[in-house]
Chain A
């Protein structure tokens, strides 16, 4: 059973376009994290959202945690080729315990 569903699974866009990736669950999480993974490397944390309704910005990336803490979204403005990678959302029930990962969204940004 997949606790976190990510959509879309694949996304191919041109440089300069905007995009949104979704992470949905029927479960409540104490926090939700977004990771980016490049080929041949491990995931690297982008952001953690903790409070329902929270919005965090990281340069051109905007992350939002749903009010009920069951879902999250990642919005990228004016995508660049350097944004290419696998974006993973992961929910934590409690701090320090293992994360439940979504299957990921593979993003390709072409010049």
Chain B
């Protein structure tokens, strides 16, 4: 049981290049999330998904796209990389605690460190 895995761990892009950050979870979680973490800024939500085929924007979605064709995978796409997208990207997943419950635990991957030059 690997939990949440992310690839690659590190990547350097040139301005205008595109890439896909991969995220896979093997816990059969319905909910998946993409966050970015900038130094001293905490984690900001980019996109999230409540199930296969359903995605929605978070706090900072501009410049990114996502898809959710399976329960396991939630890739994040950068189409035209910009220096402002230099950050550490975390994927997370959770299983809703059930009707009437107030919370659930989010499990995070190890992150992808992206630099755009």
A contact residues vs B (CB 8 Å cutoff):
2, 4, 9, 30-31, 33, 40-45, 48, 50, 88, 90, 92, 95-99, 101-104
**Quick check: A42 and B42 within 8 Å, CB to CB?**
no
- Chain B residue nearest to A32 in the complex (CB): B103
Q: Does B74 contact A (CB under 8 A)?
A: no
What CA separation (Å) do A23 and B50 show in the bound complex? 28
**Quick check: A42 and B41 within 8 Å, CB to CB?**
no
What CA separation (Å) do A9 and B97 show in the bound complex? 31
- Interface contact tally, CB-CB below 8 A: 68
What CA separation (Å) do A45 and B31 show in the bound complex? 16
Given contacts A98-B33, A99-B106, are A41 and B101 in contact (CB under 8 A)?
Answer: no
26 contacts between A and B (CB under 8 A): A4-B42, A30-B103, A33-B103, A40-B110, A41-B110, A42-B92, A42-B109, A42-B110, A43-B90, A43-B108, A44-B108, A45-B105, A48-B105, A50-B103, A90-B43, A92-B103, A95-B102, A96-B30, A96-B31, A96-B94, A98-B48, A99-B43, A101-B35, A101-B42, A103-B41, A104-B40
**Quick check: A95 and B104 within 8 Å, CB to CB?**
yes
Q: Which residues of A contact B101 (CB under 8 A)?
A: 95
**Quick check: A101 and B103 within 8 Å, CB to CB?**
no
What CA separation (Å) do A111 and B6 show in the bound complex? 34
- Chain B residue nearest to A106 in the complex (CB): B40
What CA separation (Å) do A52 and B40 show in the bound complex? 28
